[in-house]
Structure 1
Amino acid sequence: MTARHPAQEQGAGLEDFANFYRQNHSRVVAFLTYMGVDRPTAEEAAQEAFVQLSRRWTEIESPKSWLRTVSYRYALRNRHRDIEVPSSLIAPELDSIHQDTYLTEETERVVAAIRSLPPQQRAIMALTLDGYTPAEISKEIGVRAETVRSNLRKARQSLKTRLLPK
């Protein structure tokens, strides 16, 4: 079954985009974090990708995949910039919107373990945690579904070894 674009399912209005944003923003930030991007860069990259998506909302066939690709590329291009935003410039109501994406100590251990995986396993695990199936991941990264499942099995075993007490 092919996923339909949210704009095709519900109409192409601003409200539809706003709903898509609310449902996907923290997931994109989490995906980027799993991929090894620091938190501020991940948030900036996600926001930039959403801005670009808003301009092309009805044109993008697969907005979830498009967001991950665009935000990851943006993060890679901009990860070495060290711009500190003073907390006085962040409106409290905007800061609280994304509280659910802040990491607990346990989650930080898991993220660190995922970041330590080899690149292909890390990408597959990040997409799996983001709700993609092996078939979808296969299409997304251009490898056979069997390769995805094999890498996923290896990644899970590696994470189990790193995270469970001995």
Structure 2
Amino acid sequence: MPSQTEIQLTQEQLADFPVYYEGDYKPLVGLLIRWGASKHEAEDVAQEAMLAAFMSWPTIQSPKAFVRKAAYRILLRSWQVAERETCAASRVAQDAMVDAFDANEDLPKYWRMMRALPDAQRVVFALHHDGYGSSEISEITGQRRDTVRSNVRHARQKLVRMMDPESTRREATHGP
């Protein structure tokens, strides 16, 4: 008995898939666009979902349901990756702005900004700035790692807003 990766498609099964593909590709792309994907993104996701269907074709009971479930998962994964990349780029820009601030140059302003942070954020941010990782900070402060990361993110955002008040106005006017 062949393994799942070695399943051979019969001529009839091979003939069925292109018919299904031709009939469902455009409706799938339209659905993905209604879900919020760009046209290009929808086409890529639809292709990937159809490939997954082709690879599992002999075992699929309901091709339409299978392809939509696969497409949904692929689309969410692509959005999560894009969100992580956007957040990482934003963090790099924010870190550069925070690093460019010379606390020795304007010590009163530095202490004013640090005191403006809630205690938990101030402690976590100082440790983060000193090079400690989330796990180490978690161990030191007794906070969960997710809480540590959240506190660092919120502290960074608040410090950036204090250093560049215009950034708040730009954020408020950006978006739908």
TM-score by length of 2: 0.38
Q: Which has the larger radius of gyration?
A: 2
| More helix per residue | 2
Q: Which has the higher contact order (CA 8 A, sep 6+)?
A: 1
TM-score (norm 1): 0.40
